[in-house]
Structure formats: structure tokens, C-alpha cells
Amino acid sequence: CLSCHTADTWDGASFDHTAASGGFELIGAHAPLACENCHTMPDLALLFQPADNNDCVTCHQQDYDDQHQGSGFPTTCLSCHTADTWDGASFDHNAFFPINSGAHQEAWTSCQDCHDIPNDFASFTCLSCHEHRQVAMDDKHKEEDGYAYQSQLCYSCHPRGTH
């Protein structure tokens, strides 16, 4: 009892979630959450697998899948996002596809030039700028295993935007 309560009263108990959970610190967006968001009551069993603060996808797999899976992003969420919010993430686009250098530098004006579904950055098109006729591309790639006239497949063979 004395690890949380004082010897004088039950009131004012303190609880070190980080120590009790094996490392999951209640910071950022997790700080104001009620216990029931992650635990069942009254036994406090976890609703999710145990995770440390850098393992966001353990609980947020659906959030990750919606925006990141198709683009092959890592699951190290805090390298782009903060613990406070998913919004306002920093992102080095050139680490995944060079839009600020090479042939694509200054060839676009907004995200929507390539990302054809609003707020779905896993979806993109190469064909809004690269007017490759399907017949010509089909003929050029007829010997390529798995070829299809789809931007995601263009990217799988041309990940740096080069031919």
C-alpha cells in the first residue's frame, strides 16, 4: 500500500504508470485518457498487447494502415509525429521519393498533383504528369513479370522516379 498511499491516509495516492507498465509513460495524448481506454474494468486487463512509447501500431494499427502501409513507411511513428497528436507531422518526402530534387524538383505545386485521393497519401498517380500511353507502356513492359499499368507498380520498379 505504501508504494502508492501515505501512512496517514488513502487520499492523494500516487501511481507510476511507467514503472507499473514496464515503460509506457502516459504523456501527450495519452495523459488525459481514462483507464478504460486501454484496460478492462475492474481487473485492469489490457485491451491491447503491451507496448513501449515508440510502438504506436500495437494500439493504432488501423490509423497506421489507412495512411502509411501502402507507401512502405516504417512503424516508428515518433520519428514524424509527436506523442501529443498525429496532426502536423514532419516528413522528409525525399527519403521516400525525390520531389525536391532531380527530375521532380519544382515539377509540382501541391500534394494533390500526385496524391489523387484527398488525405490518402498511400494513394498516388504518376500518370497526371507522365502521359505514358497505356498501349506503349504495355508494349515496353511486356517482358516484365507482374507488370500492370498502375502507378503503384511504376513506383515498385522506379522508386526514385528514374527509368
> Where do the domains of the chain lie?
98-157
- Neighbour tally for 102: CB within 10 Å: 13
Whether this prediction's pTM lies above 0.75 is answered by no
pLDDT in tens, 88-131: 777 788 887 888 888 888 888 888 888 888 777 778 888 878 76
* Best CA proximity match to 76, nearest among 53, 101, 55: 55
* Best CA proximity match to 24, nearest among 62, 59, 51: 51
